[in-house]
């Protein structure tokens, strides 16, 4: 008997924060390519072009402005979104211009990075898990980083980003243990360096990478979309390392 393809998002309503970024936009496109026709996109930046593009591909798109570091914004987003089958917390920041050793204001930047990169996913999960549990289940995907695995791949990446992504990985494991008994699957993806606006000014030693290049946004998007699909129904607490072989462990 032929197996049905379970990497199918048809009929699923997907919520995505950080949709305006390079990886976030690629995730939205991947979800639509896999059949999702009902998306809730959130960001604190403009998304008009992306929303128009997805609508032209046949998707219904609801857009929301959201500062993920704010608990109220996440609560309002969840209430407005309604029933959600899968939620992806992709919003994140990686300031590069400060010097942690010499900048007297660096501590404030540290707190902002932690608020966005760690508190943001926690705020979203706090809203999503009980709502999904009441509906019989759901899937949540958090975006970590190779930096949280091995301390970064470029000398200019600051310790606030590394600490935040290590924190995201720990949060995935913590949430997964508590959400799985309620039918909610919490997993993550840890990308290596990816060609986005965030990394455009960063010097990565590509000659040291097994594939000789950094990743493309769509190469992160497909694994995320997979974790939102029925094919990932037995994944809980997993972090998929998508880095071209730069980190193996």
Annotated catalytic residue within 161, 204, 209, 234: 161
pLDDT of residue 1: 63
Nearest Cα to Cα of residue 143 among 88, 96, 94: 88
In this structure, of 59-68, 120-129, 145-154, the range with the lowest mean pLDDT score is 145-154
Question: pLDDT tens, 209-229?
Answer: 899 899 999 999 999 999 999
DSSP 11-60: T-EEEEESTTSHHHHHHHHHHHHTT--EEEEEESS--HHHHHHHHHTT-E
Q: How confident is the model at residue 31 (pLDDT cuts 50, 70, 90)?
A: very high
Tokens (6 digits) for 23:
């990886």
Nearest Cα to Cα of residue 157 among 207, 237, 99, 233: 99
Q: How confident is the model at residue 116 (pLDDT cuts 50, 70, 90)?
A: very high
pTM of the model: 0.95
- Angle formed by the axes of helices 120-135 and 159-179, to 10°? 20
Q: pLDDT > 90: what percent of the chain?
A: 80
Mean pLDDT of 34-52: 96
Distance CA 119, CA 247 (A): 26
Question: pLDDT tens, 192-202?
Answer: 999 887 777 77
Domains in the chain: boundaries:
13-242
Is 209 considered catalytic here? no
Is residue 100 pLDDT above 80, yes or no? no
Nearest Cα to Cα of residue 27 among 194, 236, 206, 235: 194
Question: pLDDT tens, 90-99?
Answer: 999 998 776 7
Tokens (6 digits) for 30:
């991947």
Q: Classify domain 13-242 by CATH number.
A: 3.40.50.720
Mean pLDDT of 133-160: 91
Is residue 152 pLDDT above 90, yes or no? no
């Amino acid at each position: 008997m032929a197996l049905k393809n379970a990497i199918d998002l048809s009929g699923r309503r997907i919520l995505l924060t950080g949709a305006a970024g390079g990886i976030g936009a690629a995730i939205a496109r991947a979800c639509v390519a896999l059949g999702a026709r009902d998306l809730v996109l959130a960001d604190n930046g403009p998304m008009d072009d992306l929303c128009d593009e997805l609508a032209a591909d046949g998707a219904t798109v609801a857009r929301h402005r959201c500062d993920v570091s704010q608990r109220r914004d996440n609560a309002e987003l969840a209430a407005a979104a309604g029933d959600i089958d899968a939620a992806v917390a992709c919003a994140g920041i990686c300031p590069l211009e400060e010097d942690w050793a010499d900048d007297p204001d660096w501590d404030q930047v540290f707190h902002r990075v932690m608020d966005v990169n760690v508190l943001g996913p926690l705020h979203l999960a706090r809203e999503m898990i009980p709502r999904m549990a009441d509906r019989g289940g759901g899937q949540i995907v958090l975006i970590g980083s190779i930096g949280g695995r091995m301390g970064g791949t470029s000398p200019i990446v600051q310790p606030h980003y590394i600490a935040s992504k290590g924190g995201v990985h720990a949060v995935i494991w913590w949430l997964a243990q508590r959400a799985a008994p309620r039918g909610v699957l919490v997993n993550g993806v840890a990308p290596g360096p990816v060609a986005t606006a965030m990394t455009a000014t960063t010097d990565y030693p590509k000659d040291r990478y097994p594939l000789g290049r950094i990743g493309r946004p769509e190469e992160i998007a497909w694994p995320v979309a997979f974790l939102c699909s029925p094919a990932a129904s037995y994944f809980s607490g997993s972090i998929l390392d998508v880095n071209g072989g730069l980190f193996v462990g």
